[in-house]
Amino acid sequence: MHEKILLQNQNPDRPATLEEYRASGGYGSLAQSLRGGSPGDLVAAIRDSGFHGRGGAGFPAGIKWAGVPTDEPGPRYVVANTDEMEPGAFKDRVVVESDPHQVIEGMALAGYAVSARKGFFFVRASYEHVAVLMENALEEARWAGFLGENILGSGFSFDIAVHRSAGRYICGESSAQINALQGVRPNPSKGGPHLTEQGLFGQPTLVHNVETLACVPHIVRHGAEWFKSLAASEEAEGTKLYTVSGRVSRPGCYELPNGTSLREIIFQAGGGMAQGRAFKACLPGGGSTSLLDETFLSAAMDYESLKKIGVRMGTGTVVVFDQDTCLVGAVLNLTQFFARESCGWCTPCREGLPYIRELLARIENGLGAPEYVDIIGEMADQMRHSYCAFAPGAAAPIQGLLAHFRDEVEEHLRTGGCPFNASPAGPWQEVWSSPEQERPGGEP
């Protein structure tokens, strides 16, 4: 059993209470920092840990913190990004559902480090229960004196507001999220100063993924060396929340040493393939990462190790496909998602994705032509000419399909349609595949 850090207080059916969090050392890092540490010490601690943000880009959090100018009057802001709309991702939900106070403490520490007074917890519409849970935890934290004016008598004041969203994948992109918070149309912005210099209301703003913020109190308490020692690979630090879903026998969210191999994540934590299923492919980090074949199973799942082999880890949320699942169909589904969710601001994404979707749909339905394959590849490559990283992210599974599963695409072209028949699913899905099993009557 691996040591759990972020999920150490996890209960099967309820979030950890404030008392349980405190009993595990919770809010100790905040108290310690406010009593004796300077904001500069905090920035140094995070920078020295080599801590990569857990949101998808893997940007070093310490560099982000150090990039916030604190010599101007401010105000400055901290934003917890809980928009998590990546297909296959549900780890941030698990963080808050398990131990909401560790996110609050992480935000307060980040606030202290960059001299911010206000934080926003930006949460997607379908996580309404998470929003409510967080509001309750915030109220508890205020009562206990960990939020609000003059926290623990230190003179530092910080509070957090929950900002509910109403859908749309683009709101998870940090510059679009800043627009959403301001109540303007959530388009991403390109170029110009970093959000750390000019973010919310034109002021310096730290935007972090929830898992990133949850790690902060632990790094502050136990130090950079300890945090590095938790990882499974030289390149990585800390533990990582990996989710496994798809055709595995134990889908779920697992906290493992950062840099654990894909094989271990899928075949040990995730319980291996569901009965009667064989591994064919996976997305290592949600819908906007490349489709990978079994030759990648030994890869260490951390940002730097994967970068070396040309793969983005994304959110570390693994989606597993079996031998009977059509990958053209899967990528068609993903492209439909990205086409629907495109905010429409940049031409390659707005126009290109529906075009690719159309070509994939023709291939899947026996109307394909061999030249489509190159057109799809070329258009996917053009996605990089967009404002935000979500457009090239949308291209990743398409490019993975063409790079590692081209024969499956070609088989569609050769046989004039999809060679996969609908097949019986896992234990609780089995019933869907045979309509004749449904009880008679009641049909229109």
Partner 1 sequence: MHTDDLDTHLDALVRSAETPREKAVDVMLALQRRYGYLSDEALERGSRILGLTPLELEELATFYDFIYREPVGRYVIHVCDGVVCWMHHENAVFDHLRRRLGLEHGQTSADGMFTLLPVSCIGDCHNAPSMMINGQFYGRLTPSGVDRILEEYRNKPAEPPSYG
**Minimum CB distance to partner 1, residue 271 (Å):** 12
Shorter beta-carbon distance to partner 1: residue 74 or 223: 74
Tally Cβ neighbours within 10 Å of residue 161: 12
Shortest CB 157 distance to partner 1, Å: 16
Write down the least CB distance from residue 171 to partner 1, Å.
9
Least Å distance, CB 121 to partner 1, is 14
Amino acid in position 294: E
User: How far is it, in rounded angstroms, from Cα 408 to Cα 411?
Assistant: 5
SS3 assignment, position 215: helix
Q: Give the shortest CB-46-to-partner 1 separation in angstroms.
A: 27
Alpha helix segments (H runs only) across 99-209: 100-113, 128-143, 174-181
Is residue 306 within 8 A of residue 318, CB to CB? The reply is: no
DSSP element (H, E) containing 79: strand 77-82
Nearest to 76 by CA among 176, 213, 195: 195
Tokens encoding 210: 């929830």
Spatial CA neighbour of 243 closest among 289, 187, 174, 197: 289
Q: What phi and psi, each to the nearest 5 degrees, are found at residue 121?
A: -105, 100
Residues near 83 by beta carbon (within 8 Å), at least 6 away in sequence? 122, 123, 124, 165, 171, 172, 177
Residue written as tokens 């707005």? Answer: 350
Between 169 and 303, CB nearer to partner 1: 169
Residues that bind partner 1 (CB under 8 A): 84-90, 93, 124-129, 163-169, 180-186, 201, 243-247, 251-253, 283, 287, 317, 319, 321, 325, 329-330, 333-334, 336-337, 340-341, 343, 422, 425-426, 428-429, 431-433, 435, 438-439, 442-444
Question: With respect to partner 1, which residue has the nearer C-beta, 30 or 253?
Answer: 253
Is-contact 123 82, C-beta < 8 A?
yes
Q: Which is nearer to partner 1, 23 or 161 (CB)?
A: 161
CB of 169: closest distance to partner 1 in angstroms? 6
Closest CA to 322 of 266, 275, 278, 265: 278
Q: Which among 99, 119, 100 has a CA at the least distance from the CA of 163?
A: 119
Q: Which is nearer to partner 1, 244 or 292 (CB)?
A: 244
Residue 139 or 438 with smaller CB distance to partner 1: 438
Confirm if 408 and 281 have CB atoms less than 8 A apart: no
Least Å distance, CB 319 to partner 1, is 6
Question: What's the min distance (Å) between Cβ of 88 and partner 1?
Answer: 5
Nearer to partner 1, 8 or 325 (CB): 325
User: Closer to partner 1 at the Cβ: 253 or 306?
Assistant: 253
